[in-house]
Amino acid sequence: MKGTRFTGKVVIVTGGGSGLGRTCCRAFAGEGAAVVSSDIDFNGAKETVTEITGAGGRALAVKTDVSKADEVEKLTEETLNAYHKIDILVNNAGIIVRQGLLDTTEDIWDREVGVDLKGTFLVTKAVIPHMIERKYGKVVNVASIAGLTGLSSTAYTAAKAGVLGMTRIWAMDFAPYHICVNAVAPGFIATPISAKMRATSVGKIIDSKIPLGYGTPDSVAPAILFLSSCESDYITGQCLVVDGGLSCCHDLGPEFRFFDRGKSCK
């Protein structure tokens, strides 16, 4: 354990069993926080905890399907029983099924929106009353550039756009209680959820279109920690894009960008 920025703070990270969630759990613990790693994959959540406690930190694993209200209530209760408060919530749990509208079944829609959008709603609704009571809190929602640009599939794009909308309304609702609600919008990040796609020819094309290439969880976690810290106490209702420059332009390829390289304009 190295830093002290979150000493005395209690953090819930949903989807903490792998990828960005696990990286965030380790980063918070490394800065002194007590961390609750929540994941539907309980083995993954426990592996995260083992890493943290092995390095001298404090952590708890809780099995949670964020789309189910009773499991979310259990997450809140177990956190309070263990640590007696909740200072920071990172709504990171998410899934993606890449389907266009005509191939999106009702089951696909319900599952994806249930985790990505409803899950964010349920966990925040369960945690916020405890932050209101203490008149302090930080909520960071993990959205996506898909919610800003319409980059991905129907259900995923709709869910992440909804997450950004909830971020803005909650920022206004809970500002009187000194609770800041913000979002991060990652681009294409090298995590287990994207591994299959990244190995394809399409994945390699995508990598070539990102100015800084694929990101890693370590590229995104610092933005989440910033929005969870006292350094961002005057920031709320915002979305911090962490996408390696992907959303800054529509890249038509080097043949277009450099077709007149070396020629003077007339």
Q: Which of 74-78, 94-98, 143-147, 168-172 has the lowest mean pLDDT?
A: 94-98
Report which listed range, 1-10, 143-152, 162-171, is most confident.
162-171
Q: Percent of the chain having pLDDT more than 90? A: 76
> pLDDT tens across 32-74, in order?
999 999 999 999 999 999 999 999 999 999 999 999 999 999 9
Q: What is the mean pLDDT of the chain?
A: 92
Catalytic residue (choose from 83, 136, 156, 177): 156
> pLDDT tens across 197-239, in order?
788 887 888 888 888 999 999 999 999 999 999 999 999 999 9
Strand 58-63 to 179-186 pairing:
unpaired
- Is residue 156 annotated as part of the catalytic site, yes or no? yes
84, burial (CB in 10 Å: exposed 0-12, middle 13-18, buried 19+): exposed
Which homologous superfamily is 10-195+216-245 in? Answer: NAD(P)-binding Rossmann-like Domain (3.40.50.720)
CA atoms of 59 and 57, how far apart (whole Å): 7
118 DSSP assignment: I
CA atoms of 81 and 89, how far apart (whole Å): 16
> pLDDT tens across 109-153, in order?
999 999 999 999 999 999 999 999 999 999 999 999 999 987 778
